[in-house]
Structure 1
Amino acid sequence: MPSAAERTRTLVQSTCSAVLLIPGLTTAGFDQLIPLDRSVGPEGDLFLEFPADSPAVRAATYAHDELTAVLEITDVAPVSVPHRIRGRGRIKGRLTPVPGMAGPGRMMLRLETGEAFVDDLWGAQGVEPEEFRDATVDPLVAQEAELLQHLYAAHGEQLNMLCGLLGERTEGRCATHTPAVVPVALDRFGLRVRLREADGQCFDARFDFPEPVRDMVGLHRAMHTLFEAAAP
C-alpha cells in the first residue's frame, strides 16, 4: 500500500481542491484563499501562488516571518458514488513571501512543512516533514480522474464481474443480486471499488495488482489481468 507520506504528497501535487487557512484572517472570502498553483520544493516546502493583492499575500508580507498557516486539501471522487469525499490532507508550517518567483501581478508564498496529516480511505496518520520531503508522487495521479471516469462509463460489465473475486464475503449476495460496482480510487498498487447494494448499503473492495505499475503500459497490462481473472 502507499505510505502516508506518499499519499499526502500525491494529494498536494494532484488537482484536488485546496485552501490556505490563516489564523485570524476572518475577512477573506473562501475563494480568495485558494492557491492559483502549488508545488513542492526539493526540501519539502510548499510553494503556493496567489494574486499579489490577495489577503494571504498581505498577511504573509506584514507578519515578519511569524505567520503559521495550514494548507487543507479535500479529495473528492471523480465519479458519482455515495460518500464521495475520499480523504483530506493538512500541511501546517510557517508562511513567508518569496518575491521574484511568480509572474506579474502574482506572488509566491512558501509554506515550510512543519506538520503533515492525511485522513483517507487507508486511514488517518501523521507524516514527519522528512518523510513528506522524501516521498514520491503516485505515477497515475495526473490521469487518475480520467481513468476512473472511463472505467465507470465504458467498463461497467467488467467492473460488476469483480464481485466474483470477493469470495465468501459476497458469495450469497452476488448470486442473487449483483451490487453496483463503482471505481473509486486508483494508484500504482491497485484499484479500489465501492459496491452499492439494492438497499443502499455500501462497502469497499480493493484489488491489488501483481506488481506496482510505473506507467500507462503497465496499468493496461494490470487491468487486463484483473478483468481476465474475474471473467466467468
Structure 2
Amino acid sequence: MPSAAERTRTLVQSTCSAVLLIPGLNAPGSDQLMPLSRSVGPDGDLFLELPADSPAVRAATHAEDDELTAVLEITDVAPVSVPHRIRGRAWVSGWLTTVPGVSGPGRMTLRLETGEAYVDDMWGAEEVEPEAFRDAAPDPLVGHEAELLQHLHAAHGEQLGTLCGLLGERSARRCPAHQPSVVPLALDRHGLRVRFCEDRGACFDARFEFPEPVRDVSELRQAMHTLFEAAAH
C-alpha cells in the first residue's frame, strides 16, 4: 500500500485539477486560482505558476513581510466514465510568497511553503507531516495512469471481465451468471483497482495486487499480462 505521503505527492504531481484557496480572498472565478503548472522543490515546497493578474498573485505580492496562508486543494477524478468518479482529494497548506523572475511573460510563480498536508482517498483519510511529504516520491506511473486506464477500458474490457474469477468466495456471491460491468478505476505501481457495477446500480471495488511493485510502463505490461493470465485459468 502506498503511504499517505506518497499518495499526496502523487496527486500534487499529477494532472488532477487544483485550486489555490486564500482565506478572505474573493475571486470572481475559481479558474483564476487554478495553477497553470505545479512542482515540488527539494525542500518539499510547492511551486505554483499562475497568471500574473491572478488575485492570488496580487495577494502574495502585497503581503510582503506578512505571512499569507493558503491551501492548495486537489480533486482526483477518475479518467474513465464510472459511477462516483471522485477518487479522492488532497490538501496542502502553508505560507505563500512570490518567486519573481522564474516564469515567462504574463505569469508568476508562487512558492507554497508546506506546513501540513492531508489526503482523503480510496485508501482512507490521513494527515501527512511536511517531512514525510518532502521525502516521498510520486508513483512512477502518475504521468501515464489516465492514458493507461482509458486504454484498458476501451481495448481490454473482456479481459477485465475475467478478473471477477479471482475474487474467490466473493465471486459466487458478487459475480453471478450475469457478469457485472467492469471499469478500471485506479492504477499504481502496487496494483490495479477496478469497479464492478451490476444492473441494479450496485457497485463494489476490488483491488488486484501485482507480485511486486513495478518501476515503469514496461514492467507494468508484464504485470498486467501475469494478472490476466491468472484470471484466464
When the two structures are superposed, what TM-score results if normalisation uses the length of structure 2? Answer: 0.97
Hey, what does 1:185 align to over in structure 2? 186
Hey, what does 1:170 align to over in structure 2? 171
The separation in 2 between residues aligned to 1:139 and 1:202, in whole angstroms, is 29
Hey, what does 2:53 align to over in structure 1? 53
SS at match of 2:81: coil
CA drift of 1:173 comes to 4.1
Q: Is the 8 A contact 1:19 1:33 kept in 2?
A: yes
Hey, what does 1:130 align to over in structure 2? 131
| Counterpart mapping for 1:1-150 below 5 A | 1-64=1-64, 65-150=66-151
Q: How many aligned positions are there? A: 232
CA drift of 1:175 comes to 3.7
Hey, what does 2:199 align to over in structure 1? 198
Give per-residue Cα distances to partners, 1:2-24, cap 9 Å, x unaligned. Answer: 00000000000000000000111
The separation in 2 between residues aligned to 1:107 and 1:216, in whole angstroms, is 34
Uncovered stretches (5+) of structure 1, i.e. residues with no partner: none
Bigger mean CA offset, 48-57 vs 201-210: 48-57
The separation in 2 between residues aligned to 1:150 and 1:52, in whole angstroms, is 37
Q: Is the 8 A contact 1:17 1:74 kept in 2?
A: yes
Q: Is the 8 A contact 1:16 1:75 kept in 2?
A: yes
Letter paired with 1:190: G
When the two structures are superposed, what TM-score results if normalisation uses the length of structure 1? Answer: 0.98
Hey, what does 2:214 align to over in structure 1? 213
CA drift of 1:33 comes to 0.3
Hey, what does 1:228 align to over in structure 2? 229
Give per-residue Cα distances to partners, 1:186-219, cap 9 Å, x unaligned. Answer: 0000000000011100010000000000011110
Uncovered stretches (5+) of structure 2, i.e. residues with no partner: none
Q: Is the 8 A contact 1:6 1:136 kept in 2?
A: yes
The separation in 1 between residues aligned to 2:137 and 2:173, in whole angstroms, is 41
Letter paired with 1:131: A
CA drift of 1:105 comes to 1.9
Letter paired with 1:35: P
Q: Is the 8 A contact 1:71 1:91 kept in 2?
A: yes
Q: Percent identity?
A: 78
